[in-house]
């Protein structure tokens, strides 16, 4: 079983603040995905990163893939109440294999 650690587990911040969520593994990923999940719903894909050192931006969200492809981070600038939700990283460890291994998640609450 692959171990994928996410931190922090819980995060409560004021609207307008910045935050970073981390995802780490002892094994090399072939790719890393970030999902967001709202209560009562399934996870929805935000981004996929494949190349070591890759940086992707999605409006106020910045995703980074570590150079060694063992870690990733999600940075949110000027958080808004609409960003509230559970953020999950999910790793593929084999190219061409669809199985995803999920981190434990970061539950973010943005207070207006």
Q: Residues in the site for other proteins, rule: CB under 8 A?
A: 1, 4, 6, 9, 31, 33, 35, 40-45, 48, 88, 90, 92, 96, 98-105
Q: Which residue blocks in the chain are alpha helix, DSSP H?
A: none
CB of 69: closest distance to other proteins in angstroms?
16
CB of 98: closest distance to other proteins in angstroms?
4
* 91 in Cβ contact with 32 (< 8 Å): yes
Which of residues 97 and 112 has its CB atom nearest to other proteins in the complex? Answer: 97
Which of residues 20 and 104 has its CB atom nearest to other proteins in the complex? Answer: 104
The pair of three-digit structure tokens given for residue 91, joined into one six-digit string: 């790793």
Count Cβ atoms within 10 A of the Cβ of residue 93 and give its class: 0-12 exposed, 13-18 middle, 19 or more buried: middle
CB of 59: closest distance to other proteins in angstroms?
18
CB of 10: closest distance to other proteins in angstroms?
10
If DSSP codes are grouped into helix, strand and coil, which group holds residue 23? Answer: strand
Which of residues 39 and 112 has its CB atom nearest to other proteins in the complex? Answer: 39
CB atoms within 10 A of CB 85: 20
């Amino acid at each position: 079983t692959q171990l994928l650690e996410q931190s922090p587990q819980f995060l409560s911040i004021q609207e307008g603040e910045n935050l970073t969520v981390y995802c780490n593994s002892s094994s090399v990923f072939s790719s890393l995905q970030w999902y967001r999940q709202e209560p009562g719903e399934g996870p929805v894909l935000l981004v996929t990163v494949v190349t070591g050192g890759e940086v992707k931006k999605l409006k106020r969200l910045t995703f980074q893939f570590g150079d060694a492809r063992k870690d990733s981070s999600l940075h949110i600038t000027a958080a808004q109440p609409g960003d509230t939700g559970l953020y999950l990283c999910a790793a593929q460890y084999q190219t061409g294999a669809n199985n995803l291994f999920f981190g434990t998640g970061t539950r973010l609450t943005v207070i207006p």
